[in-house]
Amino acid sequence: MNLNHLRFVQSVAELASFSRAAEKCHVTQASLSNAVSQLEDQLGGRIFSRTTRKVGITPFGERILPMITSVLSAADELTKGAKEYLNPSYRIIRLGLTPLIDTRIVAAVLDPFRRHHPHVDIIFKECHLNDLRQRLLEGTLDFAFQPCGPYDKRLGRLTFHGEQLLYLPRNPSRHQTSGTGPVRLEQIASESFALSVGCGLADSTREVFRQHRLKFQEYPGQALSYKVMEDWADLGVAAAILPESKVSPTYRAARLLCDSNGPLSIRYEMIWNRRLLRPKHVQEFLAYFSTTAKGIVGGLAQARAAS
């Protein structure tokens, strides 16, 4: 097993094609196919289902692919970490994000900093919430983006963004007669809700119900993606609550979630380890984000509302 074999598998999964993956990786199709087969033999299961018309991902592949992505990400992190240590002129800022964060918003906020600091390499890493905090405390991340959480004296924090919460009714075809307008939280409190654990959504959803002194009914199963939560709602398995950015554009059954004061939202923050000494370019990034982030996000929100 080597990293190139893992990269080949990742490319095939992304492109759903051995020929296009071979072109992307600059190898022959035969070499790539042989490497994928070797890796499958080593792991003991087929990652891809191959037909003359298409390449599919097997259930085993669905299980293995996130681990392959994690290994490649760790290898890239190792390489850049070594370069940073051995080459003092190399400047890097390592950002961690939970899957709940809209990366497009973060990228838009960072764009002016990138243009004014072209020699700073900004690296994104997606992690679950506990992993983000651990990496911050260990010093392997410079900043992390997450839903607003409980106070921790070890961490600095800066709230920069929020978005509305949407309610996905269970078996929406049954609710068509009730309209598609906003729904009050107390109206749906008796529902059973699917959760996606690890990204911060579960804790944020529980906190919304706690603040309103409502009992939260959790569906016992655990969804691995926001799309699964949509599917479960459609199938009548469980209702769901998602931030607006995590609801598919084609999903039409979502309704704005409100209380007596208006729409409910989830807030996001950037956090960092207060106890670490930061290089000058990292300090400059923090200063930039502190003064600029909210203004850019506000402009994006206005543009989105106008469109």
Report the amino acid identity of residue 224. L
* 22 in Cβ contact with 31 (< 8 Å): yes
Q: Are residues 213 and 277 in the same domain?
A: no
Q: Do 126 and 241 belong together in one domain?
A: no
Residue 189 carries which DSSP code?
A: T
Domain harbouring 118, CATH code: 3.40.190.10
Given this model, what pLDDT does residue 303 score?
Answer: 61
Considering the domain architecture, whether residues 196 and 219 belong to the same structural domain is answered as yes
* Co-location of 89 and 56 in the same domain: no
Do 228 and 273 lie in one domain? The reply is: no
In one-letter notation, the amino acid at residue 87 is N
Do both 227 and 286 map to the same domain? Answer: no
Both 92 and 140 in one domain: the answer is yes
Query: Could you say which of 67, 89, 121 is where a domain stops?
Result: 67
Q: Which pLDDT value is given to residue 89?
A: 66
Q: How far apart are CA 132 and CA 141, in angstroms?
A: 8
- Contacts for 289 with CB less than 8 Å, ≥ 6 apart: 109, 113, 143, 158, 160, 270
**Do residues 133 and 225 both lie within one domain?**
no
Give residue 142's pLDDT.
92
Number of independent structural domains in the chain: 3
Same domain for 82 and 59: no
Ranges in the chain, pLDDT < 50: 177-178
Tell me how far the alpha carbon of residue 29 is from its chain's centroid: 32
Secondary structure (DSSP) of 124-153: EEE--HHHHHHHHHHTS-SEEEEE-----T
- The closest of 10, 40, 7, 297 to 158, measured between CA atoms, is 297
Task: For residues 145 and 273, state if they share a domain.
Answer: yes
- Clarify whether residues 294 and 280 are in a common domain: yes
161: β partners:
268
CATH number of the domain encompassing residue 33: 1.10.10.10
Q: Are 181 and 256 a contacting pair, CB within 8 Å? A: yes
* End residue of a domain, out of 67, 96, 111: 67
* Residue reference for tokens 């607006």: 244
CA distance 146 to 86: 31
- Same domain for 140 and 189? no
What domain range includes position 13? 3-67
